[in-house]
Structure 1
Amino acid sequence: MADNGILFRLLLVCFMFTSYVTTKGADYASTYIICMDKSIKPNEFSTHEHWYKSLLSSVKSVTADQNTQSADFYHYTYDTVMQGFSALLTQSELDMLEEMPGHVLSFPDPEGNIHTTHSTEFLGLDPNSGLLPRSRFGQDVIIAILDTGIWPESPSFGDHGMEPVPARWKGKCVKGTHFDPSLCNKKLIGARFFNKANLAKYGTVDFSKDYDSPRDFAGHGSHTSSTAGGNYVEGVNSYGYAQGTARGVAPAARIAMYKVVWASASERAIGSDVLAGMESAINDGADVLSLSLGFDSVTPYFKDVIALGAFAAAKKGVLVVCAAGNDGPSRKTMYNAAPWIFTVGASTIDRTFKASLKLGDGTVVNGSSFYYSGSDPQKGATISSTPLRYDEGDPACNKKLEALKVNGSVLLCFNNTSRKIIDDAIAAGAVALVLVGVDTIGVTAYPDDTFPVAVFPPGDKGAVDAVLKYASLSDPVVGIQFGVTVLGFEPAPSVVEFSSRGPSFPSPNVLKPDVIAPGVNILAAWLPDTRGLNKYYIVSGTSMSCPHVAGISALVKAVHSDWSPAAIRSALMTTSYGVDNLNHTIGDLGRNGRPATPLDLGAGQVDAQRAIDPGLVYDLSVEDYVNFLCTLNYSAHQIQAMTGNEVLCSSDLDLGSDGLNYPSFTAIFRKNSASKSSTTFKRTITNVGDSVSYYKVVVEAPQGLKIEVNPSSLTFMEKFQKLNFSVTVEAEKNTRFEYGYLSWIDNNRHVVKSPVVVLFD
């Protein structure tokens, strides 16, 4: 819940400035966030906004042309995510502001990237029992989506069967290009757009590509919104695949769209627009914020606009759920890693859209395809034995294809993710295209109902090697069976190769991602087709995983309205699981199916049903996060930029004990340390289950890693009682990375499981 003491002690003022080029030629402007001491405001200014505009006018009067009005450069006023405003300034104007009394911190405003019929069933959500009916399907919980906008006419945003909008809601629907407030209803209760910084940097929006309104231009925002909280829609499919009834994870939840991603920025987001959207969502009364986008993964938290906004949300008791990013399978690629953010990686589900490639030597390898010939999608389409064309000297097919004599053949290309290759193959007369070494997220770059494309991801090394080896023989031929939707696919879930991995740069001592959730081949709402018909689309990415967890969090919030954001996250983390539907350790497709580690999947795959009754939770307050900031070697001004007030850090805080009461444990030891290294964590755990309960600890640790828990049992005598325990981790210096688990078990009714990770750095 929010800490009112901290809220009322806010002392910072922050300014944001977005780029433009001045007539002086050499003096360019960039976007900056500038934090100031709020107490410096002179008494003659009635409001901070009045003061901000006066400061802006003063620097403009020195550097700008006489006919330049400071109001032309003023964008947003911030009062929640930080205290300040956004405006356009040159470097020389910024320099002057930095010399003014009360200046604390300046940094550039960044740009960020945007990162179902069956997935809800795979998550175990049963409409007849458990979390869904107990939460009334998420009724009255409000999910704010910050994305590319929304297509309000989609049936997923219909309000049939819904009760009146909660009286506490303060948001609104704003008018814009091809968007009227009357398009909102009891499902879509808010729709705003934020593009002042975007317009300042890129100029007027190209209305052939975008709408100057909350309306979606790309489909991404409609997809994430309907995944989190879309209503029931029967008979949907994408190119004939994944047929069934679409519904969001929390089908009775309310949706509010905050459009912050724009075509004029090549589908990127400007930090000051995102901050304005987060501020509005928090003040409007949202319970959960879902952001399937991210900024530079190596940015420290005091320069990370999502981390800044999410910190303010935590003060208000609002949970922020973010995508982990799509830069896997390499380590240290994690986005949105702040511990007050719920960070989600991507996993597969047990549904696939199969294309079987039969090589001329009889070998059969299975890949993926969205090709739909118009026949029954359960029967698919067949290409009989046909010549295969492949150039080992140009495996990606970057050169002209005429020399390959592609006409009438199947074209094979290795590691080509360009959509243009389809057009090139068609122009060259190919009858089909086989792409190998293209990761799973690339599959959704090729949904096509007119031209056959089969994709074989690099994680399936056996299939890739078999295809390339055979293609190098003389006169190869292939046959392809397209278009079968397969349910019950094994193994599932798996960590998908594109999902970003930990540890994070800003705080490697906090395990990220927190969990994984379905993010591959997810069907949800999209833009209408060229005939104006409502369309549903299959997309992959951690962008799809994020709204799944946002929806589950909304359901848990509906049942446990008094739980803090940290308690909800803890419930989902400690009840997650680590085995697939073959009862094997969840595999990592980015490493040839080898067992995934906590750096890949965090605590595990979310379990929507178990999260409603976790037994115990690791709770966190804003003071805990402030203490954590004190351990990051940030300066006083940098911490002040995060917290909004001056902080006196204790000298005895350390990451392993007082720093953070997190539901996972990460120890970092130096490579040149002794033969054995150890550290001790201190944790406080809260009973949210039976009033009287008894837990014993169970430890799983490999050879060379010792985990001791003291005490080894906990007895709770009342609900919400808190008890303390410590965990001592000792590791031999024989590896860069090791991990185990500790679980608090209550007669097998509750299993409260946490990963324990050791890194040598």
Structure 2
Amino acid sequence: MDPSPLDLVSVSTLLHINPSTKPTPQIPFISRGAMDPRISLWRSTTILCAIFLLHGASASRPHHHHSSSPTKAVKQQLETYIIHVRQPESGISSSLERESWYKSFFPKTLTSSSATESRMVYAYNKVIDGFAARLTTEEVESMKAKDGFLHAYPDKLLRLQTTRTPQFLGLSPNRGVWPDAGFGSGTIVGVLDGGIWPEHPSLDPRGMPPPPAKWKGICVDAGEDFNSSNCNNKLIGAQLFNAGAKAMLGEAAAEQPGLNSPRDMDGHGTHTATTATGGFVPHAEVLGNAEGTAVGMAPQAHLAIYKVCFGETCADSDILAALDQAVEDGVDVLSLSLGGESTRFFEDVVAIGGFTAVQKGIFMSCAAANSGPLHSTLVNEAPWVLTVGASTLDREIIADVKLGNGRIFIGESLFQPKFFKPTLLPLVYPGASGNLSAAQCAEGALDPSQVSGKVVFCERGGGIGRVQKGENVLQAGGVAMILMNDELNAFSLIADTHVLPASQVSFQDGDTMKAYINSTQYPTATILFKGTVFRDTASPAVAGFSSRGPSVESPGILKPDIIGPGVSILAGWPLNLSPSGLLNDTRRVVFNVISGTSMSTPHLSGLAALLKSTHPDWSPAALKSAMMTTANPYDTEGKPITDETQGPADIFATGAGHVNPTKATDPGLIYDLSAGDYIPYLCGLGYTEAQIQAIVRSHFKCSNQTSISEGDLNYPSISAVFSPTGPSSFTFKRTVTNVGAKYSTYEVEVVEPQGVKVEVKPKKLYFKKMNEKQTFEVVLCSYGAGSMPFSQGHIKWYSGSKYEVRSPIAIAFNE
């Protein structure tokens, strides 16, 4: 006798979803961070390139001008350009003088002040000498002949990429890092993202002191939707930068919600901001799971919001303007969970703005992107920013799958309705006929006569969000969903806020389930909801979506730098939004669980604020070094960190390892760098003087500098690329500064990468005082690695049992 199907009306009623209502189609790459549950991971190189091309086209979409000549029409089209210029030799003494200087670069055909005013988008001040303006290609070409012009490039779009994490990271309110750092008191974290929901309980100002006297920021008035009264001693500033977005959107700007307000319209900004600085909120949960006290990494830090993303539109020009303002306002840490594609640093606004931030002593943490597990997919590669990958927690939200043959498979889902009983139900695989759209449970591809009243087996992919697939199943009459991972993501599971009973399973287990379906005339299955489970498996593991190195723009610098919690992270959510982001989902939550390097980045930003509170005189490079050299390459079982295959993760996935806040506060030694130390490195990359000046804003000549290779930058990690036509050995210098014990001796431990001999000279370092510096050499000699593309090792300076200062070694073998 067949088991009774679950009544579809009861599911729809409990979820407040109308099964007959068609959802508005979701654009696959709208959301910020590929791991937003509304969109799927795009896993082929071809599709990845397509995303970049689509965004590039969107970024340069001009206003349309009618012309009888197609060539003339193209030349006359307006688009936003970012223009870098030199300051005049006499200098600039006022903002009016600066804007006048910028306007002098406009073509003579734009003679009236109203014409130049209408074309000007931003006049930058702090992070670059230059401006953003609406121009034709001919007008840009005419600017290049003017004295003082440096560089120009089109504006483009970037994409936006906890109850448990404090305990997992070893943070306790009673002892250690948190109380020692005053919970981040006195620091200001600036978040560039999609805005904020100011009424969220994580932003309760009670117990917060006023912001430091250096703070110059404001809270804008944006009508009834948002005004200065929304700010307080916790949320000390909220501004928006939308001129670039408006120029790109054109007439469509009027239809973009939230374009004229700092208020968060999609949840991403509130989630990242409260991850970094959210206060203690007891009894937090999402749909009855992940219960506990929600708190950010630096709960006593002040928060400054810079809204630069409006739906899918995060314009370079707006980001640059926000960085310009944040530097002026006096933030201590900048958190950017956004990115585009790998590009040259002199056309990378995050790199350009980050350089000036470092000059001003501001730490910047950036998302590596969500295009893993393929190599060379990360972004935000500049060595002066911290590039953050994503890893798992020791928490799983279990939704196991039981088949009719009795076998049980591990799965995850955040939504675990009480009404769903563990009774076996008919199981169907819509893709059994070979229809790929049906296999991926695309909208309109499911036949209600085949899926109604059944558990539906779906495959990931097709540019369809994981949660969207569940809604498609529900619309077609299905009562539950089993979601099989794609091959690249393998065992990397995510707990989503599904709209029906569901479970995400691994690719391998999914294959076994498909074989079962094919083996019997009446396959059945059910889902066994087990709630929140801690320490069931070794953790952390690198998330399958987390982008990997090597860096494309600078392969001699190991990226990502570090990994941090980024899978199934609980943090604040706008009180008017559904957890799934689907229009037909009327559930409302105070907190939400989502995944991405967008989530790992604010963890590191908040931890940087803690370190800044403990060591206010440390440079951004020193803070970064402390995090990297104390990062842990091992999981909770003492084994090397794994990846989505359940095998050891390579160094281009983990960087230095998983952040360890307790050790980072007292690292023993640091690798320090000033902003000026990066200039010889930039010369070594082969950039022209004009290109470098666009980044560093100073007059110099590479011919007067001693250029250095990437490997000679005083970086906390070591990276080298060997090729048949290149040298067979490299010698790199490093200088460490003693920030540990006054009198101390350090000895070196070397783990050699396969195919490379490593020698460190000297093998001991002696220190007699604090802040004393010592220099050593690392010699890398290749003796052949066969067919291996990469290998890895490390050097570790240790002083007794107290200090271990570890620098990973990444080796690439190019054919």
TM-score (norm 1): 0.91
Q: Per the alignment, in what secondary structure is the counterpart of residue 272 of structure 2?
A: helix
Structure with the larger strand share: 1
Q: How has the CA–CA distance of structure 1 residues 80 and 17 changed in structure 2, closer, same or farther, with 3 Å as cutoff?
A: farther
User: Which residue number corresponds to residue 621 of structure 1?
Assistant: 674
1:163 is aligned to: 209
| CA displacement, residues 656-714 of structure 1 (integer Å, 9 cap, x when unaligned) | 66x4100000011113568xx22111000000011111100011125532211100000
| In 2: Cα distance, 1:441 partner to 1:164 partner | 47
Tell me the CA shift for residue 737 of structure 1: 1.1
Alpha-carbon deviations, 1:532-554, whole Å to 9, x = none?
97611001000000000000000
User: Is 1:234–2:286 an aligned residue pair?
Assistant: no
- Whichever residue aligns with residue 221 of structure 1, its letter is G
Report if aligned partners of 2:391, 2:542 keep a CA contact under 8 Å in 1.
yes
Equivalent residue number for residue 699 of structure 1? 750
Offset, 1:732: 2.2
Which residue does the alignment assign to 2:737? 686
Taking the aligned partners of 2:231 and 2:325, their CA distance within structure 1 comes to 17
| Aligned residue among 298, 303, 308 for 2:347 | 303
- SS state at 1:367 partner: coil
After the TM superposition, which residues 561-580 of structure 1 pair with which residues of structure 2 at under 5 Å, given as runs? 561-580=616-635
Are 1:329 and 2:368 an aligned pair? no
SS at match of 1:49: helix
Correspondence for 1:528 among 566, 575, 583: 575
User: Aligned AA for 2:501?
Assistant: P
The alignment yields a C-alpha RMSD, in angstroms, of 2.4
Partner of 2:79: 30
Aligned to 1:97: 143
Aligned partner of 1:755 in structure 2 is: 808
- Name the CA distance, whole Å, in 2 between partners of 1:319 and 1:441: 34
Correspondence for 1:545: 600
Deviations 1:173-214 (A, max 9, x none): 011140010110000001000000110110353467325111
- Does the 8 Å CA contact 2:482/2:502 hold for their aligned counterparts? yes
1:262 maps onto 2:306 in alignment: no
* Partner of residue 711, structure 1: 762
Deviations 1:228-249 (A, max 9, x none): 0011111111111111111100
Q: CA deviation at 1:647?
A: 2.7
Question: Structure 2 CA distance, aligned partners of 1:702 and 1:669?
Answer: 13
Residue 291 of structure 1 is matched in structure 2 by 336
Task: Write the distance in 2 (CA, Å) between the matches of 1:755 and 1:124.
Answer: 23
Partner of 1:7: none
3-state SS of 1:683 partner: strand
What SS does structure 2 have at the residue aligned with 1:283? helix
Whether 1:56 aligns to 2:106 is yes
| C-alpha distance in structure 2 between counterparts of 1:637 and 1:526, whole Å | 44
Aligned partner (choices 655, 671, 679) of residue 709 of structure 2? 655
Distance in 1, Cα, partners of 2:309 & 2:472: 31
Partner residue of 2:166?
120
In 2, are the aligned partners of 1:191 and 1:214 still within 8 Å (CA)?
A: yes
Quick one: which amino acid aligns to residue 371 of structure 2? D
Task: Please say if residues 347 and 494 of structure 1, whose CA atoms lie closer than 8 Å, have aligned partners that are also in contact.
Answer: yes
The answer to whether 1:513 aligns with 2:557 is no
Which runs of structure 2 are paired with 1:134-533 in the superposition (5 Å)?
A: 134-177=180-223, 178-203=225-250, 205-206=253-254, 209-263=257-311, 266=312, 268-297=313-342, 299-374=343-418, 381-390=420-429, 391-392=431-432, 393-394=434-435, 395-398=439-442, 400-402=445-447, 405-416=450-461, 417-418=464-465, 419-437=467-485, 439=489, 446-448=496-498, 450-456=499-505, 460-474=506-520, 475-482=522-529, 484-529=531-576
CA contact under 8 A between 2:367 and 2:598: conserved in structure 1? yes
Displacement after TM superposition at 1:52 (Å): 2.1
- Whether the aligned pair in 2 keeps the contact of 1:176 and 1:212 (CA below 8 Å) is yes
Looking at structure 2, the residues matched to 43 and 210 of structure 1 have their Cα atoms a distance apart, in angstroms, of: 36
Q: Distance in 2 between matches of 1:679 and 1:85?
A: 41
Q: Using the TM superposition, give the Cα deviation of residue 490 of structure 1 relative to its aligned residue in structure 2, in angstroms.
A: 1.1
CA gap of 1:623–1:18, structure 2 versus 1, over 3 A, is farther
1:495-514 per-residue CA deviation (whole Å, 9 max, x = no partner) reads 00000000111101100000
SS at match of 2:599: helix
- Residue deviations 1:259-290 (CA, integer Å, cap 9, x gap): 00012xx2x31001000001111110000000
Deviations 1:558-592 (A, max 9, x none): 00000000000000000010111122110011xx1
Q: Is contact 2:397–2:495 with CA below 8 Å preserved after alignment?
A: no
Change (3 A) 1:469 1:206: farther
The equivalent of 1:20 in structure 2 is 63
Once the 2 structures are TM-superposed, how far is the Cα of residue 69 of structure 1 from its aligned partner? Answer: 2.8
Q: Is residue 177 of structure 2 the alignment partner of residue 131 of structure 1?
A: yes
- Structure 2 counterpart of 1:60, which letter? L
Q: Tell me the distance in 1 between the aligned counterparts of 2:588 and 2:376.
A: 42
Identical positions, percent: 40
Residue 549 of structure 2 aligns to a residue whose secondary structure is coil
Alignment-mate amino acid for residue 587 of structure 1: T
Partners of 1:301 and 1:318 lie apart in 2 by 18
The letter for the 2-side match of 1:756 is: I
Rate the CA distance shift 1:349–1:254 in 2: closer, same or farther, 3 A.
Answer: same
Match of residue 558 from structure 1: 613
**Contact 1:321–1:546 (Cα < 8 Å) also in 2:** yes
Secondary structure of residue in 1 paired with 2:379? coil
- Contact kept in structure 1, 2:256 and 2:310, CA below 8 Å: no
Look up the equivalent residue of 2:737 and give its one-letter code.
Answer: T
Which residue identity lines up with residue 155 of structure 2 in the other structure? D
Shift of 1:461: 4.0
CA deviation vs aligned residue, 1:458-492 (integer Å, no higher than 9, x gap):
xx443232222222323221121125111123111
1:54 to partner: Cα distance: 4.5
Amino acid at match of 2:802: R
Give the equivalent residue in structure 1 for 2:17: none
2:216–2:330 Cα contact (<8 Å) kept: yes
TM-score, normalised to structure 2, is 0.85
C-alpha contact 2:756 2:780 (8 A) present in aligned 1:
yes
Relative distance call for 1:481 and 1:532 in structure 2 (3 A) is closer
Describe how 1:599-638 pairs up with structure 2 within 5 A: 599-638=652-691
Aligned with 1:216: secondary structure? coil
Q: Distance in 2 between matches of 1:497 and 1:367?
A: 16
The one-letter code matched in structure 2 to 1:166 is P
CA distance in 1, matches of 2:533, 2:215: 42
Instruction: Report how far residue 21 of structure 1 moved.
Output: 3.7
When residues 445 and 588 of structure 1 are mapped into structure 2, their CA distance, relative to the original with a 3 A threshold, is closer
Query: Which runs of 5 or more structure 1 residues have no equivalent in the other structure?
Result: 1-15, 376-380
SS of residue in 2 equivalent to 1:405: helix
CA distance in 1, matches of 2:335, 2:262: 16
Aligned equivalents of 1:421 and 1:334: distance in 2? Answer: 27
CA distance in 2, matches of 1:342, 1:579: 20
- Counterpart amino acid of residue 428 in structure 1: A
* 1:34-49 pair list within 5 angstroms: 34-39=83-88, 47-49=97-99
Match for 1:432: what amino acid? A
| Bigger shift: residues 145-154 or 617-626 | 617-626
Give the Cα–Cα distance (whole angstroms) in 2 for the partners of residues 310 and 757 of structure 1.
25
| SS of alignment partner, residue 574 of structure 2 | coil
| Native 8 Å contact 2:630 2:805 kept in 1 | yes
